[in-house]
Amino acid sequence: MRSDRELSRVELDAFGAELDALRSRTLADLGEVDARYIRRVRGAVRLCCWSGRALLILGWFPPTWLLGTLLLGLGKILENMELGHNVIHGQYDWMNDPEFAGRRYEWDIAGPADFWRHTHNHVHHTWTNVLGMDDDVGYGLVRLFPEQRWKPFYRWQPLWVTLQALLFQYSIAIQHLRLDQVYKGKMSKDELRPLLRQFNAKVLRQWCKDYLFFPLLALLLGANALAVLAGNVLANLLRNLWTFAVIFCGHFTEQAAVFSKASVIGESRGHWYLRQLRGSSNLSGGKLFHILTGNLSHQIEHHLFPDLPARRYAALAVEVREIAARYGQVYNCGSFSAQLTTVLQRIWKYRVPEADVVAA
């Protein structure tokens, strides 16, 4: 349970002004150090992916196959989290480097970046944890808060969540297709068709690269194509499970709050900041852990300042935590294992109606 102090309108304006000032100071300080960092991340992604693929060419020999798979999985995690996600947010647009332009970047995942720019950058970041407006709350499959209306299929949500975690890259890609709206007749098949073509083209491209091109290349080199194929499958699976865990810990932990549509009517800048703080959860850990999460372990700072380079979040967190304390707000932060445990508890607890929860 949260124990936040309610803020007056004057306090909300002052709260927002302090965070705006913090953002402005950080923006003014951006420069070569940040540019050098993201180029190094890109270099690390390439090194991991290509060295992993080279080791997989050596076949089933356990040390090289396992290391190759892990390196490829690591490269995909870094690419999706610290490089792709953050570049697509426009965090490095100020560099004026086409390779790091948020509007042009296409990442190594099944979902087209254009889909993500809308469902994540626009919808999720604008309406964070607002029920009926933020589609990320349960992704239409999972009931995580008692405020969500219960439906019979939630009884089996541990199964849906397991499948979603294993296939997470497809889950977030399909989200943009709005198949629920098509089913309800609120979206026509003509509107769906171009989205479906874009979705199919990206999935086909990913499958051809990971499951056709590199196995065939191995075959041409006289290597074991099946070992390469299996390594690619497992690397994608590792990336899916990791990104699922990090993203679910961002907004669905025990102390994460949800909001009604009515609560955001006439929302001020300070109120928007406050909602981002209350609806997000941080993960504590070392520098390498933060990099592997794309610095989404600082989910609070990411939601307050989504267009600032994520490498800055650790420093920003010190000031954000101090500001939150002065205004009587809970700063939701815990270890990865502790936060993930509360997420899993929510999935199990809210699979049944409230009456069943109370009876249990």
d(CA 231, CA 56): 7
pLDDT top residue among 49 and 356: 49
Given this model, what pLDDT does residue 360 score?
53
Residue 354 has pLDDT above 80, yes or no: no
Q: What is the pLDDT of residues 294-313, one digit of tens each?
A: 999 999 999 999 999 999 99
Residue 334 has pLDDT above 70, yes or no: yes
Tell me whether residue 234 is in a domain. no
What does the pLDDT average to over 145-154? 94
d(CA 208, CA 211): 6
Tell me whether residue 97 is in a domain. no
Q: Which residues pair with 229 in a beta bridge?
A: none
pLDDT top residue among 346 and 181: 346
Tell me whether residue 282 is in a domain. yes
Tell me whether residue 103 is in a domain. no
Given this model, what pLDDT does residue 355 score?
57
Tell me whether residue 40 is in a domain. no
> Domain span at residue 350?
9-29+110-219+239-359
d(CA 21, CA 14): 11
Residue 125 has pLDDT above 70, yes or no: yes
The angle subtended at Cα 253 by Cα 247 and Cα 256, nearest 5°, is 105
Q: How many domains does the chain have?
A: 1
What does the pLDDT average to over 210-226? 96
Residue 316 has pLDDT above 80, yes or no: yes
Tell me whether residue 87 is in a domain. no
Tell me whether residue 225 is in a domain. no
Q: Around 130, how many Cα atoms within 13 Å sit in the side-chain half-sphere?
A: 19
Please report which confidence band the pLDDT of residue 217 belongs to, taking 50, 70 and 90 as the band edges.
Answer: very high
Tell me whether residue 54 is in a domain. no
Given this model, what pLDDT does residue 357 score?
59
Given this model, what pLDDT does residue 266 score?
94
